[in-house]
Amino acid sequence: MMRIANHGGSLPAWRRSAVGATAVLFLILGHAAASAQTAPPVGVPANDGQMYVTANEMIYDDARSTVSAVGNVKLYQRGSVLEADRVDYDQAGGRVRARGNVRMTDPQKNVYYSAELELTDDMREGFVQSLTVESADKTRFAARSATRQGGNVTVFDNGVYTACEPCRDNPEKPPLWQVKAARIIHDQGTKTIHYEDAKLEFFGQPVAWLPYFSSPDPTVKRKTGFLPPHIMSSTEYGFGVKTPFFWNIAPNMDVTFAPAALSGQGVLADVEFRHRLENGTYSFRAAGLFQDDPYAFKELDQQQDARGAIQTKGHFEINEMWSWGWNINVLSDRWVLDDYDLWGADWSEAISTLYLTGQGERSFFEARGYYFYGLSSDDVQDQLPVVGVWDYNYVFDKPVLGGELSFDVNLTNTYRKDTDFEPLTRDNARLGELLGDDISSRDLRRRNLTCDVFTTDCIAAGVGGAYTRLSTDVKWRKEMIDPLGQVWTPFAYARGDFIWIDPEDSENLASLINTDSSTMARGMVGAGLEYRYPFAMENSLGSHVFEPIAQIIVRPDEGHIGDVPNEDAQSLFFDTSTLFSWDKFSGYDRIEGGGRANIGAQYTLTTRNGGFINVMAGQSYHLFGLNSFAADDLTHTGEGTGLENDRSDYVASAYAQFTKELAFAARFRFNEENLYTNAIELEARFDKGPVSGAVLYGRYEDQRRLGFGDVGEGILGNLKVKLTDEVYVAGAARYNIDTEKFDKTETGIGYMDECFAFGLNYAVDFSENGNEDPVQKVYVTFALRTLGGGGTSINVNSDSD
């Protein structure tokens, strides 16, 4: 049924005729979904399947069996709107014709423009002149003419396709890129766009020609077909092109085949399988080849005939609280991932893990296993551990003695075949004399020298054999505020460890630790009080808060120092972030003992314009008993940290953010006796207009008892400058002040807008994989929105120092 509206004039008294036509243009490209409705006038149903017409005039011609809508014609049906100067319906011939400023908006907000269209009333066949299509995802088709065939195929003659928006100031100007083709065929049945006799143009100039190619239409997220190629090049494997093929097995399953024919080494196979299930996902990837010229590489491991890698990942949700998963890597050798640029990443480590995780409202559980595969020339695989860790944490929901009670349980098991010995710096000179070389400590560490010369003058970063520790830690704290505003926080904790150790039977290790299999138990109890008294005031600058802080902890001495390995507590950096920690060790293998007091103060300013400044400083005091940081374990953790003396080094920090664009941070550790700077970090971050970046300066005094005989000093920075809204240049560098050299640099230029992206980067790394020679790489990437992208990475070896 047709509803007739007379806008601007009276209806002729001609006989009204029922019109059986349906909506006109919106089915040319097969859009019939009734989502994202285009709203009809008030009072007109939005989706009842009937056509509603408004026009200045309706003309009925019974003799010719035609109905015409003239002047400001709008047809509404199923969420689509057709607008034109005139629409004629030939009832006898079953043809609909729209003329003059034809515009159609479909339910998906795609807009179609044409000078004239004609099609059958069943919408299966039709013809359009001067058609332009602007899709909701900002892609565009244009053609001198278009025909509709079979109800789901549209053919654009002399067609143009682009995903770039037209220039606002000059819409007639060619877009950044477009594809011109003698014919563009859009098959909505297969959701594929075919291009015949096609040219790719940039800024109106042709740069590539293809007799034929195809791509998924913009609505497709996954479709079987070839992906953009990836160009590969290096001095070891020559030149090659990786040609990925994507197989969309099912909406939740796919396979990507990506073989690469390499001129110097043969065919590199690469395949990835992915599967998404209702409760998780998993994937499997494998790559490998039989090398034609293994001796193009220098290392013995690289000179194998067969090389490859396997990776599988998975993550599954058991229920709302529990999940499990894995990430497993199997490699033929440590160099293969980087040598063949596998899977588009710079691999610094290959860690395999299997885990089970549970998260409750007040509890957390994780069981995780690790296998470490060393990818650096420094690494000795037999010295890397296999690790199993089990953690549980629970916080009681109800107060206990008026405070918060929590406990942690940790079970750790490690196994490595050989002990990881590291020579101390103070012996490097003696060792150098014996070897007849003037060798730096860094060179010695790179060569992974053991303690064969001086068995007692070394550290054991990892003990060979098996080591198991079960630890339970219970903590209680209660915060109280008195009438004066003083904050008093009493706390207490108890820790117990059960340890079993079965070290390797090694003469070198026996000089450092008892190598007999043994079990032992150790414990620690502690109690303390923390005091804070914040003073606050307001003035024209903003809100000021000054807060003195004092903390005292009473506990017995730490036991079994040096009798057991230190695997998880080797990292210790004393600064304001650890000043008031109850236990300053980073892991369970060490327990801080002895009485200690920590004193400090902090000042905070919050400005009225949103700025923020925080300054904090303090010192730690060993009061009685054994100072854990002055007692050597197998890794000498604590030495050179500023905590090994009764009066620690002074620590201070400052953070300032005056605006959203600019922030500063500084961290210091000063020698307690002469205020000499033992450690300093200065950092600045900025993001103002077209310029953004960060710079970090660090200087750390030598720690000879840890094997670092030289002052560590360097600068790390990155910078990005937008030359225009689309064009940018960027760079990053790390400068080693000790060696007076840049040991890592990267520079690049890029372009990015709504339809195109391009990047060119050049990187030099003197430290990658422990190489003495720099590793140089060139990265080129590009992407055309909706058509895809590609890129290449080129390894360039250098023999320079």
Q: Please give the Cα distance from 624 to 593 (Å, whole number).
A: 10
Task: Please give the structure tokens belonging to residue 72.
Answer: 């400001």
The CA-CA-CA angle for residues 442, 443, 447, to 5°, reads: 115
Residue 500: per-residue pLDDT? 96
Give the range of the structural domain holding residue 312, as residue numbers without chain letter: 240-344
Is 739 in contact with 443 (CB distance < 8 Å)? no
Size of the chain in residues: 801
Are 105 and 67 in a shared domain?
yes
Are 16 and 127 in a shared domain?
yes
Question: At 72, which CATH number?
Answer: 2.60.450
Q: Please give the Cα distance from 667 to 675 (Å, whole number).
A: 14
Instruction: Give the containing element (helix H, strand E) for 509.
Output: helix 507-510
**Lookup result for tokens 């904050």:** 487
Could you give the number of structural domains in the chain?
Answer: 3
pTM attached to this predicted model: 0.75
Q: Spell out the residues 6+ positions from residue 550 whose beta carbon is closer than 8 angstroms to its own.
A: 530, 531, 597, 598, 599, 600
- Is 517 inside any structural domain? no
- Is 114 inside any structural domain? yes
- Per-residue three-class SS string for 327-368: EEEEECCCCHHHHCCHHHCCCCCEEEEEEEEEECCCEEEEEE
- Residue 588, CA distances (Å) to 22, 209, 519, 569 in order: 75, 65, 17, 7
Q: Spell out the residues 6+ positions from residue 205 whose beta carbon is closer than 8 angstroms to its own.
A: none
Are 204 and 89 in a shared domain?
no
- Is 80 inside any structural domain? yes
Are 198 and 277 in a shared domain?
no
Residue 48: per-residue pLDDT? 56
Q: Please give the Cα distance from 100 to 69 (Å, whole number).
A: 12
- Is 108 inside any structural domain? yes
Are 116 and 27 in a shared domain?
yes
- Is 204 inside any structural domain? yes
| Number of Cβ atoms within 10 Å of the Cβ of 786 | 19
What pairs with residue 39 in β-bridges? none
Residue 346: per-residue pLDDT? 63
> Please, what's the b/e burial string for 375-409 (b: 16 or more CB within 10 A of its CB; e: otherwise)?
bebebeeebbbebbbbbbbeeeeeeeeebbbbbbe
- Residue 633, CA distances (Å) to 83, 452, 624, 761 in order: 84, 20, 20, 45
**At which of 344, 372, 394 does a domain end?**
344
Are 69 and 128 in a shared domain?
yes
- Is 491 inside any structural domain? no
- Residue 797, CA distances (Å) to 75, 77, 236, 264 in order: 68, 66, 9, 15
Are 186 and 307 in a shared domain?
no
Question: Which residue, among 484, 497, 580, has the nearest Cα to 533 in the 3D structure?
Answer: 484
Q: Spell out the residues 6+ positions from residue 674 whose beta carbon is closer than 8 angstroms to its own.
A: none
Task: Please give the structure tokens belonging to residue 559.
Answer: 């036991």
3-class state of residue 86 by DSSP: strand
| DSSP code, position 450 | -
Q: Please give the Cα distance from 306 to 328 (Å, whole number).
A: 20
- Is 634 inside any structural domain? no
Task: Please give the structure tokens belonging to residue 436.
Answer: 């007849």
Pairing of strands 788-797, 230-234: parallel
Residue 637, Cβ density class (10 Å: 0-12 exposed, 13-18 middle, ≥19 buried): buried
Q: Spell out the residues 6+ positions from residue 46 whose beta carbon is closer than 8 angstroms to its own.
A: 37, 39, 40, 79
Are 211 and 267 in a shared domain?
no
The CA-CA-CA angle for residues 767, 771, 773, to 5°, reads: 95
Is 693 in contact with 718 (CB distance < 8 Å)? yes
Instruction: Give the containing element (helix H, strand E) for 508.
Output: helix 507-510
* DSSP one-letter string for 622-648: EEES--GGGS--TT-TTTTSS-SSSBP
In 150-299, where do the E strands start and end?
A: 153-162, 177-187, 192-202, 205-216, 225-226, 230-234, 238-242, 245-250, 253-257, 260-262, 266-277, 280-290
**Lookup result for tokens 């500063």:** 664
Task: Give average pLDDT by consecutive 10-residue segment, the chain, 801 residues.
Answer: 36 33 32 40 57 85 85 81 87 83 80 82 71 82 83 84 81 86 84 87 86 78 79 85 90 92 93 94 95 89 92 95 96 89 74 95 96 85 94 95 96 94 57 44 43 61 94 97 95 97 88 90 97 94 95 96 92 93 95 97 92 96 96 89 94 92 94 92 93 94 72 92 92 89 89 89 70 72 80 61 33
**Cα of 246 vs its chain's centroid, Å:** 23
Alpha-helical segments (H) within 415-478: 428-435, 441-446
Are 8 and 117 in a shared domain?
yes
Are 176 and 272 in a shared domain?
no
Q: Spell out the residues 6+ positions from residue 673 whose beta carbon is closer than 8 angstroms to its own.
A: none
| DSSP code, position 447 | T
Residue 314: per-residue pLDDT? 96
What pairs with residue 310 in β-bridges? 286, 330
Look up residue 6 and give its amino acid: N
Task: Please give the structure tokens belonging to residue 692.
Answer: 């953004």
Residue 459: per-residue pLDDT? 84
Q: Please give the Cα distance from 343 to 626 (Å, whole number).
A: 52
Q: Please give the Cα distance from 763 to 796 (Å, whole number).
A: 10
Is 326 in contact with 354 (CB distance < 8 Å)? yes
Are 118 and 171 in a shared domain?
no
Q: Please give the Cα distance from 54 to 4 (Å, whole number).
A: 7
**At which of 344, 370, 388 does a domain end?**
344
**At which of 306, 325, 344 does a domain end?**
344
Residue 151: per-residue pLDDT? 64
3-class state of residue 41 by DSSP: coil
Are 1 and 111 in a shared domain?
yes
- Residue 627, CA distances (Å) to 1, 383, 566, 592, 623 in order: 94, 31, 17, 8, 9
- Is 522 inside any structural domain? no
Is 398 in contact with 376 (CB distance < 8 Å)? no
